[in-house]
Structure 1
């Protein structure tokens, strides 16, 4: 079973556990895909029958070896396309996700490999997400989410979630980008915001933003 829908489902399942260990539930998957729970339930049954996921009623969903291989393939395609759009076509990092969602299914393997070579075989996309190697291997950096970083922690930004384009624009305006060095100064009382120092000074980042930024551990 290898349809566009199957590719999107296994990729979404993979994304959920890429930076944290808990498996995804059907309701979480429905929310991530913007679909009704009943629709997701039926598709998960098909994915299980095709050997792409492990799932029992009322339990979480996990990828099989075949499902993970398909997910990694799609993740690689998506992130190479995002990098190509930014580096060769003048897109900003907050503009590329939807374009890549379409193009990742349309490009041939030969063209994708050619694009990767022309970019110097990048290992991360514009948001710092790891681009799997052609052989399916993944080398993820040792990182801590900003919300969990202790006071005094200093590290380079290695990843920023691309789930919210408006947040990406806010961070770009604030000078918070990949490889920028941040120092955690402390949490503001009552507001829940975290004060960090950047090369340009100090800035307060709210809880939602602090959950979207990963620093080198």
Structure 2
């Protein structure tokens, strides 16, 4: 049955391995969700009993095939709504996350399909995150985190994490956007159109480039 609490767990687990390979631990899951470790342990056990995650005591948590499909479905809703709000209602990319968190549980499948069709079935949201298709499939090209890219690396900005609205505003103010081609100077500096752009230090762990 639909459950916002279950969906929040599945989304968080899904997000954790979207742009890196290490599986999430229960303590990391508790930190991400702002919950007590004991509460998370109890819920993970329930999710495992429902066949949505795989987990062994004190080990990391992974989505099962059924959990992956359910997570992809709710993430598809969230990211389509974010894209819709930016394109149709003039929201800035740092304003859409909280609105989408509410609407993703409220709109019908029919309305979601209409939004997807109206937007031309986009593959990426305003932050560069892949939008799963109706079957849960996504397409991502090889990527590298800004902080791990060597000086001189040339790539397109694929994604900017939406965790920190202040960082999103700073990146936007710098002229850097998803799809922009840049040259890496160092972990917080980029060359854009022959000008050097200095980003906040947090950008090193929040901006992804094409590999």
**TM-score under structure 1 length normalisation:** 0.93
Aligned-partner Cα distance in 2 for 1:26–1:96? 28
Structure 2 distance, partners of 1:31, 1:85, is: 29
Distance 2:38 2:208 in 1: 34
How far does the alpha carbon of each residue in 1:68-108 deviate from its partner, in whole angstroms, 9 at most, with x for none?
01000011010000000100111100000011011111111
Moved over 3 A (4+): none
Aligned-residue RMSD, C-alpha: 1.3
How many pairs does the alignment contain?
A: 211
Unaligned runs of 5+ in 1: 188-192
1:167 corresponding residue in structure 2: 167
Listed one character per residue, the Cα deviations across residues 18-74 of structure 1 (whole Å, up to 9, x for unaligned) are 010000001111111111211111111111111100111111000011000100001
What is aligned with 1:43? 43
Q: Secondary structure at the match of 1:106?
A: coil
Give the superposition deviation at 1:204. 2.5
8 Å CA contact retained: 1:78, 1:100: yes
How far did residue 200 of structure 1 move? 6.4
CA distance, structure 2, for counterparts of residue 177 and residue 56 of structure 1: 41
Contact 1:147 1:207 (C-alpha < 8 Å) held by counterparts: no
- Counterpart CA distance in 2 for 1:182 and 1:64 is 37
1:190 aligned residue: none
Contact map agreement 2:188 2:203 (CA 8 A) in 1: no
Q: CA deviation at 1:179?
A: 1.1
1:206 CA drift (Å): 4.4
CA contact (8 A) 2:170 2:200 kept: no
* Gap regions ≥5 residues in structure 2: none
